[in-house]
Amino acid sequence: MSGAGPEIERLMALLSKLPGLGPRSARRAALALLKRRDQLLIPLTHAMQDAADKIESCRICGRLSTQNPCTTCVDPMRDETMICVVEEDSALWAMERVGAFTGKYHVLGGLLSALDGIRPEDLRLDSLISRVRSGRVREIIMALPATVEGQTTAHYIADRLKGFDNQVDITFLARGVPVGGDLDWLDDNTIAHAFKSRR
């Protein structure tokens, strides 16, 4: 109960579910939206409605996009022999900001985790294996966090790809990614460097 009336309280309750917003910052956000109706509330509502209507996960790589397959998947200028595997779109966005990678992507949608009960079938792992098996992929770059879950997931993928006829190199982002670090929180130079010195 915030004393603001049911409609505003519902708005606050939903805003507080956004990462980084607690009850107090959700109240401030709700007030900012209501005070700036034409400059913020209505444009943001439209942008969200637009996103809900148009954005879906690419059926090839899993990327969030208004096109399906996404622009990266259909872009003939991008090297289809390389796939960069990321946990979430945020890591892909970070890569694209840097602009150091010109291959294709695969968004897993999470990481394997015994603790959280996330199994292979909960992630886009079968579709990754299919892409590698059917395509001209020569290198898979594991741009996954340097956490237990990130390493477990990378090893699971490597295991699944053993014994294929086509030779696929599996590389990892090297220097610069701190242990437990989320790609989205790194500066662009660090990402570019880690890319160049992948092993």
CB-based contact 140:108 (threshold 8 Å)? no
CA distance 151 to 156: 8
Q: Is residue 34 part of the contact set for a copy of itself (CB under 8 A)?
A: yes
Q: Which span (63-71, 76-84, 145-153, 158-166) binds a copy of itself, by CB under 8 A?
A: 63-71
Q: Pick from a copy of itself, Zn ion, none: which does 114 bind, CB < 5 to 8 A by kind?
A: none
**Residue whose CB is less far from a copy of itself, 86 or 140:** 86
**Residue 86: exposed, middle, or buried by beta-carbon count in 10 A (0-12, 13-18, 19+)?**
buried
Side chain identity, residue 141:
I
CB-based contact 84:141 (threshold 8 Å)? yes
Closest distance of CB 183 from a copy of itself, Å:
11
Closest distance of CB 87 from a copy of itself, Å:
11
Q: Is residue 40 part of the contact set for a copy of itself (CB under 8 A)?
A: yes
Number of residues binding to a copy of itself, judged by CB under 8 A: 57
Closest distance of CB 100 from a copy of itself, Å:
11
Q: What is each CA distance from 89 to 22, 108, 175, in whole angstroms?
A: 24, 9, 22
